[in-house]
Amino acid sequence: MSQRAESADTVLAPAGAVIFCRVIDNFGDAGVTWRLSKRLRDLGLPVTLVIDAVDVLARLVHDLDPAATDALVRGIRIADWDAFEAEVSAGDLSRIGGVWPSLVFETFGCRLPDAVEAGLCDGRTRLWVNLDYLSAEEWVEGSHMVWGLHPTLPVKKLWFFPGFTDRTGGLLIEDGLDEARRAFDAAAWRRAHGARDGLRTLFFFVYPVNAIDRLAAGLRAAGEPLNLMLAPGEASDMLERALKGDARFNVVRLPFVPQEEFDDILRAVDGAVIRGEDSFVRAQLAGTPLLWATYPTEDKAHEIKLDAWLARFREAWPADAAVPFETYEAASRHWVDGTLEPAEVKAWLDQLPVQKRAAEVWRESLLRRGDLARRILELVPRA
């Protein structure tokens, strides 16, 4: 599929996007596809998001009815997967204007319904993309921008990988990100949300399977009074119980905020212990020092993903730093594999200023590589 129409006789699909998402990684999958939907909307495309867990998406989009099968929210049409598939199988494309648009996404290898794949063979030229998971592993560069032929239909699909290098698709970066960060009043946010003046502030959004007791023991042993802003969920319940009774910690339970407000938390804190993919990316784009809780898997693939990112992030570590990168690397690895020691928690806290310098350098490198959505739009056929 070429970037430009091959001849005047080529029939181009109308401009627009349909994004398909099956939620496996809970808020991560829903969060990435909602962010992609908003990004494409802001770049001028009509967008339909077809998702099999509207209720999960509604936790991030507070004006979305979790029981809705069809909704228009902030200019984006949201459709329940089963209802939409039934309509398409019956030949009804009214929700998308009667014709499959110029850009069709299957996200994270979710596999499109058979009726959708067949519908893409209507003689119109469009781009069909599999947007995959984020990873810093080297193999991603060889798999990015690879075309695959359908086994039975005359249509092909582009594998497109987010990433941290010039040989990947980059990250979703909205226009005005720098301006929003400069205009944000971190001190005012902290005061409004119950943080105590004069204390460093940390944010926690992790998995219940993480070594929360070890983290709590390290925070206690470090001896530093802290504001601890805890996201909703079982993991935060566990951390709060583990620190109960220690007056050095000002524990604040945050509500589940809409996606648009999540960046404010990350901009307001001195460090974050963060999980998943979308939250992990937003912490980096905020320039916030972090410990990353990769999604745990039995085959230890999450440890491989962490090591791959650490190898990239190492490049941003200040050459004149008094603290070696290996100290941060050890805390990150041992947090993920469950062997975190109290001394490593203290070392992580002590080196937050150095991490901040590295995070700012790393953030600038990500911004220079540009926006994933714009890169994809450059590939869409147009006259």
Supply the pLDDT for residue 383. Answer: 59
Q: Would you call 277 a catalytic residue per the annotation?
A: yes
pLDDT in tens, 3-30: 333 444 679 999 999 999 999 877 889 9
User: 135-172 burial by CB neighbour count: b if 16+ within 10 A, else e?
Assistant: bbbeebeeebeeeeeeeeeebebbbbbbbbeeebbbbb
Q: How confident is the model at residue 1 (pLDDT cuts 50, 70, 90)?
A: very low
33 in a domain, yes or no?
yes
Query: What's residue 300's pLDDT?
Result: 85
Q: Domain range for residue 100? A: 17-173+371-379
Pair 141, 187 in one domain: no
pLDDT at res. 382? 81
Q: Tell me: pLDDT of 168 over 90.
A: yes
Q: What percent of the chain has pLDDT over 90?
A: 92
29 is catalytic: yes
Do 32 and 154 lie in one domain? The reply is yes
**Residue 2: its pLDDT value, please?**
37
Catalytic one of 106, 117, 132, 277: 277
The domain that contains 35 carries what CATH number?
Answer: 3.40.50
pLDDT tens digit string along 309-355?
999 999 999 999 989 999 999 999 999 999 999 999 999 999 999 99
Q: How many CB atoms lie within 10 A of CB 191?
A: 13
Alpha-carbon distances, residue 103 vs 48, 125, 365 (angstroms) = 11, 10, 28
Q: pLDDT tens digits for 181-204?
A: 999 999 999 999 999 999 999 999
State pLDDT tens for residues 52-93.
999 999 999 999 999 999 999 999 999 999 999 999 999 999
Query: Mind listing the pLDDT tens digit for each residue in 238-281?
Result: 999 999 999 999 999 999 999 989 999 999 999 999 998 999 99
In a domain, 8, yes or no: no
Sheet holding 146-149, edge to edge: 70-73, 76-80, 47-51, 17-21, 103-107, 127-131, 156-160, 146-149
Q: CB burial class (10 A; 0-12, 13-18, 19+) of residue 188?
A: exposed
Helix %, strand %, coil % for the chain, to 5?
40, 20, 40
- For residues 226 and 269, state if they share a domain: yes
Does residue 194 share a domain with residue 135? Answer: no
How far is it, in rounded angstroms, from Cα 128 to Cα 121?
Answer: 11
Number of structural domains in the chain: 2
Residues 85-99 have pLDDT tens digits of: 999 999 999 999 999
Per residue in 252-262, pLDDT tens? 999 999 998 99
Indicate whether 351 and 278 sit together in one domain: yes
- 288 shares its domain with 145: no
Mean pLDDT (whole number) for 224-241: 97
pLDDT at residue number 94: 93
In a domain, 7, yes or no: no
Do 169 and 181 belong to one domain? no
Question: What pLDDT does residue 6 have?
Answer: 44
The number of CA neighbours under 13 Å toward the Cβ of 304 is 11
